[in-house]
Amino acid sequence: MAPELKIGQHRVPFPVIQGGMGVRVSGARLAGHVAKSGGIGIVAAAGLALNSSYYDGKNYFKADYNALQDELRKAYEIAPTGVIGVNCMVAVSNYDDSVRAACEGGAKLIISGAGLPLGLPGLTADYPEVALVPIVSSVKAAQLIARKWHKGFNRLPDAVVVEDPDTAGGHLGEKLENIGSGDYDQYATVRGVKTYFREQWQLDIPVIAAGGIWSRQDLLYALEQGADGVQMASRFVCTEECDASELFKEAYLNCKQEDIGLIMSPAGLPGRALKKNVEHIRQRDVDLGLRCPSGCLKKCAYKEKQDRFCIVHALDRAQKGDVETGLIFCGTNAWKADRITTVQAIFDELFPQ
C-alpha cells in the first residue's frame, strides 16, 4: 500500500507529483488526468501565451496571464476535486504575475525553481491555503530559502523538491561542470533536507525526489531512501493525455540513450534535452534574423547578444510538432519510452492493487 502524500492542506492518495514541462507539454489535459488518477497534476506556466487565443504577437505577458488561468480552469474540469498546481520558473520576466495568476486561478500549490524563489511567500500572502514548494539541488539552497522566508514572511516551505541534476530534464539548478561528475548524491540531499527542517525548525515536511524516476522500482527505492514522494515528468510524455503533439511524443519513442545530453540555455542554466538538432535551432533564428520577440526571461543571452537561440519559441515549436527546429527537453530516461499509454495505466503500474 503506497503512502498518501500531504502537502500543506492538500492530500492525494499516491505520492506522485507530475513534473512541470513547458511550453505546454504539461498543460490542462496532462495535469488534470494526473490529478484525476490520484497524484498531483502540475501545469507549467512558462510560455502558455504562445499557443493561446489571447496572443496577438505583441501582448505576450497579458496573454500569458490569461492563458494560465484558462489552463487551470480546463484542468479542474477534468479533475474537479483533484490537487492541481503550477510550476513557476523564477527565471522568467513575469514570475510575479505568473504566481498571482496561478493563485487567482485556483492552484493548490506553487512549485518553483530555475532560480531561488526567495520572495515567493510575499506574492502568495493573500492565498495562505496555497502550498509553497521550492525546488533545490542542495541542502544549502534549502537552508537559504528557509531562513529568507522565515525572516521576511514568517513562512516556511510546505514541501521541498530535491532535483537530481544528473538525471532530470529541462533546466537544471547546478553548474554545468558539476553535472555528471559522480559527486552528487540525491538521496543524501533528500535526507539532509529532511534533517535540517526537523532539527532547525521542528518541522516534518515532505521531501520529494525528482529526476530519474521511471518505474515502480525507482519509486520504491526513492521511498526506501527517505523521500516522501517522487516527481515524474518524462514518464508522462508518451501518454494520450500529454498536451504535446504526436510528433513530440514520437521523438521520445525514437530516441536512443546517446541522443540525450546537456545544452546551455540562453537563460544561463544548463538543460537536458534531445541534443542532435540544437544547431538547427540556432541556425533557424540566425537565418531569420530573429530578435528577442517577447522578453520572456529576466536574463537571456539571446535577448542581450543574440547568443544561442530564443528558447521559449523553440520549446513552443517542439510542442506543436516541429521536431527539426524545436527544442525537446527530457530526462535521462526518456529513451525508455516504448509506447503511447495512458496516465491511468502508469498509475496502475506504479501502484498495483
pLDDT in single tens digits along all 353 residues of the chain: 678 999 999 999 999 999 999 999 999 999 999 999 999 999 999 999 998 999 999 999 999 999 999 999 999 999 999 999 999 999 999 999 999 999 999 999 999 999 999 999 999 999 999 999 999 999 999 999 999 999 999 999 999 999 999 999 999 988 999 999 989 999 999 999 999 999 999 999 999 999 999 999 999 999 999 999 999 999 999 999 999 999 999 999 999 999 999 999 999 999 999 999 999 999 998 888 888 888 999 999 988 888 889 999 999 999 999 999 999 999 999 999 999 999 999 999 999 98
In CATH, what number is assigned to the domain containing residue 100? 3.20.20.70
Answer yes or no: do 268 and 213 share one domain. Answer: no
Domain shared by 187 and 291, yes or no = no
Instruction: Examine the domain organization and report whether 217 and 311 are in the same domain.
Output: no
Whether 270 and 234 map to the same domain: the answer is no
Counted domains in the chain: 2
Nearest to 294 by CA among 303, 307, 306, 285: 303
Residue 1 is predicted with a pLDDT of 61
Cα 9 to Cα 128, 339, 346: the distances in Å are 10, 36, 26
Q: What integer pLDDT is reported at residue 3 of this predicted model?
A: 87
User: Does residue 184 sit in the same domain as residue 106?
Assistant: yes
Per DSSP, 1 falls in state: -
Residue 331 lies in a domain: no
Tell me whether residue 140 is in a domain.
yes
Over residues 152-174, the pLDDT tens digits come to: 999 999 999 999 999 999 999 88
User: Rounded distance, CA 306 to CA 304, Å?
Assistant: 6
- Asked if residue 332 belongs to a domain, the reply is no
Same domain, 134 and 226: yes
Nearest to 264 by CA among 313, 327, 324, 334: 327
Residues 153 and 210 in one domain: yes
312 and 226 within one domain? no
Residue 41 is assigned to a structural domain of this protein: yes
pLDDT value, residue 264: 94
Residues 74 and 93 in one domain: yes
Residue 241 · residue 286 · CB < 8 Å: no
Evaluate whether residue 272 is within a structural domain.
yes
- Measure Cα distances from 220 to 214, 272, 336, 337 in Å: 11, 25, 18, 20
Residues 205 and 72 placed together within one structural domain of the fold: yes
Q: Which domain holds residue 226?
A: 5-244+338-350
Do 139 and 162 sit in the same domain of this protein? yes
pLDDT at 100: 98
- Looking at the domain assignment, is residue 34 inside a domain? yes
Same-domain status, 236 and 291: no
Contact 238, 221 (CB under 8 A): no
Establish if 325 belongs to a structural domain. Answer: no
The verdict on residue 173 lying in a domain is yes
